[in-house]
Structure 1
Amino acid sequence: MSRVLQVSAELFPLLKTGGLADVAGALPAALAAAGAEPRLLVPGFPAICDALTQECAVAPVALPWSEGRAALLRGRLPGFDVPVYVLDAPGLFDRPGNPYADEAGVAYADNHRRFALLGLAAARLAEGVDPSWRPEIVHAHDWHAGLACAHIAASRSRRRTDARTVFTVHNLAYQGLFPADKFNELGLPPTHYAVDGLEFYGQVSFMKAGLYFADAITTVSPSYAREIQTPEQGCGLDGLLRHRAGVLHGILNGVDYDVWSPVADAAIAATYSADDATGKVACKAELQRECGLAVKADAPLFGIVSRLTEQKGLPLVLEALNDLLDAGGQLVILGSGDARLDAAFGDAAARHPSQIARRTGMDEGLAHRIYAGSDVVLVPSRFEPCGLTQLYGLSYGALPLVHRVGGLGDTVVDTTLEDLAAGTATGFVFNAFTADAYRRALRRAFALWSRQEYWARVRRSAQQRRFDWHVAACQYLYIYDGLLVR
């Protein structure tokens, strides 16, 4: 039974800015069910500390700089059956805003210290500061935890631990880059600041730390594992990733169907299933009323639940917005981000209030209601490591319209004639990242909507697709076991 420490900056349902939190919240239970012995390490953000129970002090954590204090606590969090370690450092984590930025959206100037300390705490646990439990595998998620791999490599060189590391890339575009003069505050050996280490074009890269020092690397879909080895999507790290291709694995994210299923979802107007979609009609009408749209059963309702960024392909949606409206469609948008995109959707909603609704921020309940009430979920991302939005759309029978990239191409089957005939079609897929290709996919959606018998078949096929975390957990266990045997 592998003892696995999962290190993450976010954790659903307590702290979430995106899909990382959903993964970090669901994977431990799946690993435990598959036979591992997982525990969690998270920063002591207010939402985490407020929810922690049965806490006890494990050990202080020495800071690589002079001021402040930090300690490891062990306790329990609601919804988790495994013990959780919390890095208690109020001077670093007890702040307003989200985990990475203040209330104005400005990144904290000491983020390098905050997340270097998270990696250092992981290394201390790997060295055995908790006499009751010591991880054999440390599984670090995204750049925030990347220095765990570097610190553990340093500990291994000093023969303080035998732990092995796995680093999961959730989005290579967010790399945790800091000025080179911050390196001395990270608590790492001077030799780690090198091309064969953290140095990245004269800066410090937390992402590169994970990619270089981890014993195994995973990404969140098979296609993304291939794509990040190319200059187009490698973000300057494709050479390193090609060099480490032998330990690079693509493991598709799963869905926690206890949370994301219309069969028993308390947040939606009516429950329903793949075999009886009656409740989806009620969910659509209620969503239209809630968002101030015209209550029309025959108007196809398109949903967007997303950060408003160029990466998510939303300029394509704006460019073809009149096509959607002229064909009789409706659109509801939930999210925030780029000010220009935000303003453009807000202006469109003001001009077409019966067809377009705009909601800002993160509203978990409304997100559920959008999936349940929408007929189509739009995910036309320029690049997408895995994507959870389309997986949630499939579960709720909101047919995904996606660009064939990363996990989107791995999980959605286009409504071609042969796939319609075979009963395998689950959505609408376009290949080239252009407005014309997006428009053609949009037209296919309206064409299928005009044939409700076929629409019902595709919706049923979509809802029958399963992306269970058990499959992913078994793949992770295979990697863990391979590292321990080596």
Structure 2
Amino acid sequence: MKKVLFVTSEAHPLIKTGGLADVSGSLPRALAELGQNMRLLLPNYQAIETTDPVEHRCQLDLDGVTVDILQTRLPDSDVIVWLVNYPPYFGKPGNPYLDAQGKPWIDSAERFTLFCRAAVEIAMGRSELGWQADIVHCNDWQSGLVPAMLSIEEKAPATVFTIHNMAYQGLFPRSKFVSLNLPEQLWNPDGLEFYNMLSFIKGGIAYADRITTVSPTYALEIQTPEFGCGLEGLLSHRQDDLSGIINGIDQEYWNPETDEFIPQQYKSTTLKKKALNKASLQRKLALPEDEELPVIALISRLVQQKGIDLVIDCLPHLTSMPMQFIVLGSGDRSYERRLQNLARLYPEKISITIGYDEKLSHLIEAGADIFFMPSRFEPCGLNQMYSQRYGTIPIVRRTGGLADTVVDALPHSIADKSATGIVFNEPAADSLLEAAKRAILLFHDKKSWRTVQLTGMHKDFSWQNSARQYLAIYQNL
């Protein structure tokens, strides 16, 4: 049994802005079920929600700043959660990373440096928690300084650093390195320096004992200039220490057989009941109820990475076809406005919901026929796995985890029952449109459609598979 400190900036259901939270809420739980002694560490944001008691455990003096360590549990598990409580940094309302204007908090470097210092003290056993880590598992740039700072400690625990998205790096001016009072020996081209800037993510990549990312394809992609964001050389240099492990999904929370958010539960043997969710979704969003119209859905951040511009460019062509289109998400204001304008032009074909609604997202997965994920890059992606589990056919671009989790529906793959979706190659509106046309044609071939649905519903995307691969890494450290 290993004592593992899992360091993350968000974890579902305590606090969530994206896929990192889903991973951080599920992987520690799965590793605990495999017998590991897990502790989850994250900042005590004002927005954190927990139904379990929260108690004060100790104080830490971090470079002249005193913080409190609070303790609770990950809901519905035995995993202990430690919260770094410092209200001047983490007691702000709203998003953990962005202010009300959608810009990064002006003190982001200070906030996450303090968080990393807390992780180091706890990992080294220099707290009153009575616990010392064997392994510290860090996630994304917000915890990237932890492996760097542990590298200069004597008898430090082993470190694992997981990259969930290379596009977010935690880059700050050189002056921040000085004002943060970071150890001078870490400032060098092989360390935290990145073109005379301070790079948090480089701390994890350069100093961690092992590096992982969230799909085998993405592990290869980030070693290229197109996806490496300037760090492809370092990642290639460390390729022997780099591996890709597909994220799992919470198969209890995302389960059409038991989902409390949908009006009609169903499973592979009662797949016809899915149509009742489709009718409910159409009613809820004021779209005409029609079982024979394919409903295409998208749940996403409305940003270029997710290919939203491709969707907008092909929507006028899609509206000439018999279909309905649903969007749930928020992001770039210009994309939001363009989508809303299209919904006003085609009120019987397009429904746009700006924001995020967990209950609606479940109903969309259960009620839609087709799910769009035309990402320019996608380290892993989760919705394509949710969709398959709900018998909703994903359309994905062949990149990252999308390439690793969706098998294109071609005549031979439908025949051998390996097909689970529609896959296209180029990040272009024409390619997405052709994929959508293929999906609509497949939708009207009821026998083949059902075969692809059932294949997806029977796939195993459980966290146990992923957790066993992480456990193998832990044991080899």
Q: TM-score range by the shorter chain?
A: over 0.9
Write out per-residue CA displacement over residues 187-226 of structure 1, whole angstroms, 9 at most, x where no aligned residue. 4211212111111112111111111111100000000000
Matched, 1:296 2:293: no
Q: Give unmatched runs, 5+ long, in structure 1.
A: none
Q: In the alignment, what sits opposite 2:109?
A: 112
Q: Distance in 1 between matches of 2:244 and 2:70?
A: 33
**Which runs of structure 2 are paired with 1:392-431 in the superposition (5 Å)?**
392-431=386-425
Q: Which amino acid aligns with 2:273?
A: G
Q: Distance in 2 between matches of 1:148 and 1:116?
A: 9
Q: Distance in 2 between matches of 1:86 and 1:49?
A: 12
Q: In the alignment, what sits opposite 2:69?
A: 72
Q: Is the 8 A contact 1:117 1:186 kept in 2?
A: no
Deviation at 1:60, TM superposition (A): 1.6
Q: Distance in 2 between matches of 1:2 and 1:372?
A: 39
C-alpha change, 1:80 and 1:91, in structure 2 (3 Å) is: farther
Q: In the alignment, what sits opposite 2:42?
A: 42
Deviation at 1:132, TM superposition (A): 2.3
The partner residue of 2:463 within 458, 461, 469 is 469
Q: Distance in 1 between matches of 2:180 and 2:52?
A: 27
Q: Is the 8 A contact 1:61 1:72 kept in 2?
A: no
Write out per-residue CA displacement over residues 21-73 of structure 1, whole angstroms, 9 at most, x where no aligned residue. 000001111101122111100101123376562513223232x3x6x531222
Q: Distance in 1 between matches of 2:387 and 2:180?
A: 41
**Which runs of structure 2 are paired with 1:28-427 in the superposition (5 Å)?**
28-48=28-48, 53-62=53-62, 64=63, 69-128=66-125, 129-130=127-128, 132-155=130-153, 159=154, 161-427=155-421
Q: Distance in 1 between matches of 2:78 and 2:326?
A: 36
The partner residue of 1:445 within 439, 443, 446 is 439
Aligned length: 476
Deviation at 1:259, TM superposition (A): 0.6
Provide the secondary structure at the position in 2 that maps to 1:42.
Answer: strand
Identity %: 44
Q: Distance in 1 between matches of 2:396 and 2:454?
A: 18
Normalised by the length of structure 2, the TM-score is 0.97
Deviation at 1:324, TM superposition (A): 1.9
More moved, 101-110 vs 36-45:
101-110
Provide the secondary structure at the position in 2 that maps to 1:53.
Answer: coil
Q: Distance in 2 between matches of 1:220 and 1:406?
A: 8
Q: Give unmatched runs, 5+ long, in structure 2.
A: none
Deviation at 1:309, TM superposition (A): 0.5
Q: Distance in 1 between matches of 2:221 and 2:74?
A: 36
Write out per-residue CA displacement over residues 331-384 of structure 1, whole angstroms, 9 at most, x where no aligned residue. 110110011111111111111111111111121111111101110110000000
Q: Which amino acid aligns with 2:375?
A: S
Normalised by the length of structure 1, the TM-score is 0.95
Deviation at 1:131, TM superposition (A): 5.0
Q: Distance in 1 between matches of 2:263 and 2:49?
A: 33
Q: Which amino acid aligns with 1:340?
A: S
Write out per-residue CA displacement over residues 241-263 of structure 1, whole angstroms, 9 at most, x where no aligned residue. 00110100100000111111111
Q: Is the 8 A contact 2:50 2:75 kept in 1?
A: no
Q: Is the 8 A contact 2:266 2:274 kept in 1?
A: yes
Write out per-residue CA displacement over residues 163-189 of structure 1, whole angstroms, 9 at most, x where no aligned residue. 011000000001111111011243421
Q: Is the 8 A contact 2:25 2:74 kept in 1?
A: no
More moved, 200-209 vs 403-412:
200-209
